[in-house]
Amino acid sequence: MSESAPVSVPKRSRRFPYRFHLEPRLKEPPAWYPAAVSVGAILVALVIGGLVIAFAGGNPFASYAHIAKASFGSIGVLSDTLVKATPILLTSLACSIAFRMKLWNIGAEGQFIMGAFGASAVVLIPLFPPETSAWIVIPTMMLVGMLFGALWGMIPGLLKAKLKVNEIISSLMMNYIAVSWINYWIFAVWTEGGFQMSKVFPDYAWLPRLLDYAEQIPFLRGLTTHAGLLLGIVAAVILWLVIYRSRWGYEIRLIGDNAQAAEYAGINITRNTVLVLVVSGALAGLGGMSEVAGTVHRLQTSPIAAGYGFTGIIVAWLAKLNPLVAILVSILFGALLLAGREIQPSGIPKMIQGIILVCLIGSDFLMRYRLRIERIAEEA
C-alpha cells in the first residue's frame, strides 16, 4: 500500500535462458538492412509455407521445386510468367503512385476493367474501318483505355477532394460497378452468338507478341510475352523519374509524408488528390488495355476481372512503393499465379502469397525496432 518497493518475482525452477528486449531504433539502419530484412521475411514465409504443405501431407521440397520449375523452368514457362506479371506490374504502379500520397486506391481492379473496356470499345464499336493500320489502332486503344481508367480514378478523387468521401470505400465500390458495366456490354451488346464474351479482336488490334517474330528468330516460337510488358517497364521507369526526380513527385511525397507540411509549403492538396487518382487510374487502365489487347484478345469478364488490381496492391506494398522494385516483385507474383495453374491444390501458391505478404509487412517492424537478446545469468 505504501511506497512501491521493487517486486520480487517468484522464481520458477526452469526458465527460458534468454530474455528478449524490443527497443525503438534511434539510428537509421545501414543501407543493406532493409533488403536483408525483406529476403529474411520471404525465407521465413517459405519455411512456414513448407510446414503447412508438410502438414497437408505433401513434400515441401518437391512442391517448391515444382513451383520453381512451373514458373521459371524453361523459356516457355518463363514467358508465361512474364505474361502474368504484365497486368500486375501496371496495377502495382497505379497503386504505388496513389499510396505514395497516402491515397488508398483500392479501385485499381475497376480501373483496370474500365481500361480493358475502353480499349475494346475502340475495336468493337468499331472506331476504325477494317484493316486500319495497327499503328493507329493500338495507340488509340491505349489512349482510350487510359482515359476510361483515369475517369474511374477521377470519380473517387473528386469525391475525396470535394466532399471528403473516404476513397477506400468509394474506389472499392467502383470495382463492382465496373464489373457490372462490362457484363452489360458483353451480355447485351457485343455478345458473340449468345456467349458472354465479345468476338475475337482482328489481328491489327493485337499487341505484338514474341511469337510473331518466330519466322525470323525460331527461338521465339510459342512465346506469348507481348508488348504490354514493355509498356509496363517504360511506365515504371517514367514513374520512378516522376516520383523521385520531378517537382510534382516531390509534392506527392511531401503530401504523403505530412499533408500539413505540404499545405504549409503552399501545395494544393485538393488538386493533387484528383490528379494523382487520375494518373493512378490511367496506369491501371493501361494495364487493362494491355491485357485485353495482348493476352485475352476479346472482352470477357473472367480473365479480365481476375483480381489483378488487388494483387497490384500487395505488390506495390511489397515493393515499398518503388516502381523499379515493383518490376521484380510483379514477376515473382506472376510466377506464383502461374504455379497456381500447375499445382494441385491451386490454393497452395495463393497461401504462400498470403504468408509472404504477412511476413513482409510484419518485418517492417524490424525497421523501427531492434531485437536485443540477452542471456539470463544462471543464478545458483
Partner 1 sequence: MNTAQLPGSTPSAPQSVPLMVEMRAICKNFPGVIANDHVDFDVRNGEIHALLGENGAGKSTLMNVLAGLYKPESGVIKIKGKVVNFNSPRDAIHAGIGMIHQHFMLVPSQTVTENILLGLEKPRFHLNLREFDRIVFELGERFGLKVDPRAKIWQLSVGEQQRVEILKMLYRGADILIMDEPTAVLAPQEIEDLFATLRAMVAEGKSIIFISHKLQEVMAIADRVTVLRKGKVTASGLDAHSTTRQELAKQMVGRDVIFHLDKQPKKPGQVVLSIHDLHADNDKGLPALNGVSLDVRAGEIVGLAGVAGNGQRELAQTITGMRKCKSGRVELNGESVANRSALFGILRGVAHIPEDRTHVGTAPNLSVTDNVIMKQYRQPPLDNHGFLNMSLATKFASKLKTEYDIMVPTVETPVRLLSGGNLQRVILAREISGRPSLLVAVQPTRGLDVGAIESVHRLLLEQRASDAAILLISEELEELLSLSDRVFVIYEGRIMGEVKIESGEPAPELIEMIGQMMTGTPLEKVHVGKAEKHV
Question: Interface with partner 1 by CB under 8 A: which residues?
Answer: 1-2, 4, 26-28, 241, 245-248, 250, 253-254, 257-258, 260-268
Residue 175 C-beta: closest distance to partner 1, Å = 27
Residue 324 C-beta: closest distance to partner 1, Å = 16
- Cβ 280 vs Cβ 105: under 8 Å: yes
Q: In this structure, which amino acid lies at residue 241?
A: L
Name which of 180 and 246 has its Cβ closer to partner 1: 246
Residues 164-197 as b or e (16 or more Cβ within 10 Å = b): eeebeebbbebbeebeebbeebbeeebeeeeeeb
Residue 147 C-beta: closest distance to partner 1, Å = 22
Give the number of other Cβ atoms within 10 Å of residue 50's Cβ: 17
Between CA 213 and CA 209 the distance in angstroms is 8
Residue 258 C-beta: closest distance to partner 1, Å = 4
Based on its alpha-carbon atoms, the radius of gyration of the chain, rounded to whole angstroms, reads 25
Name which of 12 and 27 has its Cβ closer to partner 1: 27
Write the DSSP symbol of residue 348.
H
Between CA 305 and CA 87 the distance in angstroms is 11
Name which of 80 and 251 has its Cβ closer to partner 1: 251
Strand partners, 374: 19
Residue 329 C-beta: closest distance to partner 1, Å = 21
Name which of 260 and 302 has its Cβ closer to partner 1: 260
Name which of 28 and 215 has its Cβ closer to partner 1: 28
Residue 372 C-beta: closest distance to partner 1, Å = 20
Name which of 203 and 257 has its Cβ closer to partner 1: 257
Q: In this structure, which amino acid lies at residue 116?
A: A
